[in-house]
Amino acid sequence: MNRVGRKPQGAGLVDPLRGSPHAKQRMTLILETLAGHCTVETACEELGIQQSRFFAQRAEWLQEALELLEPRPLGRPCKTEPVASPSEVKALRKQLHELQARAAAVNVQAELARTMPHLLRRCTPSKKKRSAPPSAGTVAQRWSSEVVVLSVARRRHARQHAVRRHGEHEARCHTARTCHQMQHEGVPVARVTRELKLSERTVRRWRSAVMEPMRRGRPAQPASRDERNNVYRYLRERGPATPLAAVRRAFPDVRRADLAELHTRFRRIHRRLRERYRSRLVWKVPGTVWAADFKERREPIEGVYRYLLSVKDLGSRCQLLWEPLPAADADAVGILYERLFQQYGPPLVMKADNGSQFKADETKDLLALHNVVPLYSPARHPQYNGGVERANGQLASYQEAMAEFNNRPAGPTCEDARAALRLANELARPDGWQGPTAAELWAARPPIREEQRRAFIENVESKRRLVREHWNMEPGAVLEHYQQAAVDRRAVRDALVEHGLLTILPRKPKRGVQKKCATQNVTQVRGAGILEPRREEAMVGAAHVALADSHHHEGANSSTIKSQASGKN
């Protein structure tokens, strides 16, 4: 059987090595004797040495080979560094001190820049002698000599002042600890103060006796509780539009800063209370809710028509009617209502104000005949019907523009009024500039089925009973117009929301207004309770209507924002 691989070379491995022939001969003979190919006597004869000498050389060689095979540290051997001279050591120590002082100064400067930025300046020689700062005990005595009652804003400022003073105290302590540590490590304190750009005297005073945090300035001397109540009473009587100069003239003995603070706080509270009554209405289905209102002109159209009746669909924002009339009476309203009902079909709800022509018995009978629920605005609250109020101004401007375009210096005519109606429906795009126009949305409206109308009216009646029960009203009591309108506003609103015809959203807060107001508005608008304005409590309460919750308001069904009133209300 033949062997695979190279033949073992044995002692022949010595030939390619570098060395003298005599050394190679000795290594070859030692390897051969170890392998048994040659005897010791033969090797000694060839080398010309005795056996004892041969054994000694072989043992020495094997010992050195074994030492070479011992495990050694990994990597290259370390180089011996030269020893620095004393002058170099001194320079390096100085450089180290500078770096340590700079590193310590950076940490201290970050805290000083946050708490006391006025100190970060190069120390300059002082020309005038400064008096010693007051001790902490003197300042504490001065501040605690009397107990003062601060307002909310003043208490907040006092807390902020205390936080700032505490931060300055911590910065002084940090600076003193850093200087003490650097001095203990052999770094001169003057080098640290030079890096901090602080006066050495200031740092020395901080290190000698670290002062306790103390307040600055004179103690607060705010107005008393009675004086503040008198100012609030004065502002409530005259309203938030009262200028600050008038308040200062009325209360010359009260500090000007206190009056400015009370004036600002009163206006802020009044603004927040007023914004609670605002919300955005999103009408979901076109053709279900209409809004009507009269527009009076100073100069009659064509010398005859002083009034214009405006009817608008809130779901599509389509203007259904803009009709010039010689008089605003119930007969004209009934005729035009009948014409609209025959042409487009009656809606579910008709919104209007409390004008005599809208709350007349003839108008109410006509709406009841067509199963239309009337929805009247609160007294002296035109923003409740803000959608059509906004549309009146737009149509009037379109009407004047059309008269000017047609070169009619005498004023607009009935033809201009009809052209303004068409123009308004063509320009209005409720869903954005890429969406359909108001006329297209109106044309695509779904029809109102009889079962839908019947279910809505039944829901309104059930809501009316709930409202009467909530207000402790007798079930069979006959209410006057304003009382019934207040009941209908709650009942119709809840029915519209339940049938998916109306969505009530919080008013979009202005820039800078906290989101907390919007969250409160959402909670109040979507609450399960019945909402009621405070201004109607006296009127409804006179007819034995007791309000269970004084926090309910009417604002969930009105909008006073002009940009949102058009079609959103």
Spell out the SS3 assignment of 365-431. HHHHHCCCEEEECCCCCHHHHHHHHHHHHHHHHHHHHHHHHCCCCCCCCHHHHHHHHHHHHHHCCCC
Name the domain count of the chain.
5
10 within some domain: no
Domain boundary among 415, 443, 471: 443
426 lies in the same domain as 284: yes
In angstroms, the CA 506 to CA 490 distance is: 18
Q: Residue 141: which of 229, 203, 67, 215 has the closest Cα?
A: 215
537 within some domain: yes
Tokens standing for residue 72: 């050694």
Q: Residue 387: which of 322, 313, 337, 444 has the closest Cα?
A: 313
Indicate the SS3 state at residue 214: coil
What distances in angstroms separate CA 330 from CA 73, 156, 296, 569, one per listed residue?
A: 112, 60, 16, 25
Q: What is the CA radius of gyration of the chain?
A: 49
Domain boundary among 217, 250, 275: 275
DSSP state of 520: H
Torsions phi, psi for 167 (to 5 deg): -65, -40
19 within some domain: no
Residue 237 structural domain: 225-275
284 lies in the same domain as 262: no
CATH number of the CATH domain containing 338? 3.30.420.10
In angstroms, the CA 532 to CA 503 distance is: 18
The tens place of each residue's pLDDT in the chain, 569 residues long, gives 566 666 777 777 777 888 888 888 888 888 888 888 888 888 888 888 888 888 888 888 888 888 888 887 777 877 777 777 788 777 777 777 777 777 777 777 776 766 666 665 544 444 555 555 544 444 444 333 333 445 566 677 777 777 777 777 777 787 777 777 777 777 777 777 777 777 777 777 777 765 566 666 666 677 888 998 999 999 999 888 899 999 999 999 998 888 998 999 999 988 888 777 678 899 999 999 999 999 999 999 999 999 999 999 999 999 999 999 999 999 999 999 999 999 999 999 999 999 999 999 999 999 999 999 999 999 988 989 999 999 999 999 999 999 999 999 999 999 999 999 999 999 999 999 899 999 999 999 999 999 999 999 999 999 999 999 999 998 888 999 999 999 999 999 999 999 999 999 877 655 554 444 433 433 333 333 333 333 333 333 333 333 333 333 333 333 333 333 333 33
CA 559 to chain centre: 23
CB 448 within 8 A of CB 348: yes
Buried-exposed string 131-152: b where 16+ CB fall within 10 A, e elsewhere? eeeeeeeebeeeeeeeeeeebe
Q: Of all helices (H) and strands (E), which one includes residue 465?
A: helix 450-470
Parallel, antiparallel or unpaired: strands 502-506 and 318-325: unpaired
504 lies in the same domain as 487: yes
14 within some domain: no
Please name the amino acid found at residue 508.
Answer: K
